[in-house]
Amino acid sequence: MQFNINELKNSIKNKKILAIDYGEKRVGLASTDIFHITFNPITTLQNDEKLESKINQIIQKENIQVVIMGFPYRNNSSESIIHQKINDFKESLLTQLNIPIYLFDESGSSKQAMQNLVNSGISKKSRRNKQDFDKFAAVVILQNFINEIEGENYV
């Protein structure tokens, strides 16, 4: 990551965080409480012209103070179209919000989210519902972020 862990840890302390799993068709959202103990899937939104407005409404309603956006980092540091779309979306949100937005490696979050659903006994039919799946991938991004920033033994 490109940030100082101690500074970031201080900047998120006692703040409610929203995780965004950005996709070209759907965007999953999840949040945590101010103590970073509970992780809650919020919703999956369609990626359309109303997306930013809907996210802004959720941020206001949920009293979100920090945003984490999943970003698929690559070993060879090459950029793809989705990287540019995520960066553009982040910059657009920054112009509307007065809260920090951080990019965080989402590598493996979809696979981990699917495994979590399997482990929790969710039926195969329900696991195919993309509307539900993306918000659970956002939960994984948020859990991984908190584990990395606050330490594996924190949660």
Instruction: Please give the pLDDT value at position 151.
Output: 73
Determine, yes or no, domain membership for 86. yes
Give the range of the structural domain holding residue 139, as residue numbers without chain letter: 5-149
Domain assignment present for 155: no
Query: Does residue 114 sit within a domain?
Result: yes
Q: Is residue 41 one of the residues assigned to a domain? A: yes
Q: Which residues contact 126 (CB under 8 A, 6 or more apart)?
A: 117, 132
User: What pLDDT was estimated at residue 117?
Assistant: 52
- pLDDT in 10s for each residue of the chain, 155 residues: 456 778 888 889 999 999 999 989 999 999 999 999 999 999 999 999 999 999 999 999 999 999 999 988 765 555 678 889 999 999 999 999 889 999 988 765 556 555 555 555 555 555 466 667 788 889 989 998 998 888 744 33
Quote the pLDDT of residue 90.
Answer: 95
DSSP 110-140: HHHHHHHHHHTT--HHHHT-HHHHHHHHHHH
Would 53 be classed as within a structural domain?
yes
151 DSSP 8-state letter: -
Number of domains in the chain: 1
- Other Cβ atoms closer than 10 A to 25: 10
Task: Report d(CA 68, CA 81) in Å as an integer.
Answer: 20
CATH (domain of 42): 3.30.420.140
d(CA 131, CA 34): 26
Q: Comparing C-alpha atoms, which of 73, 80, 96, 107 is closest to residue 24?
A: 80
154 lies in some domain: no
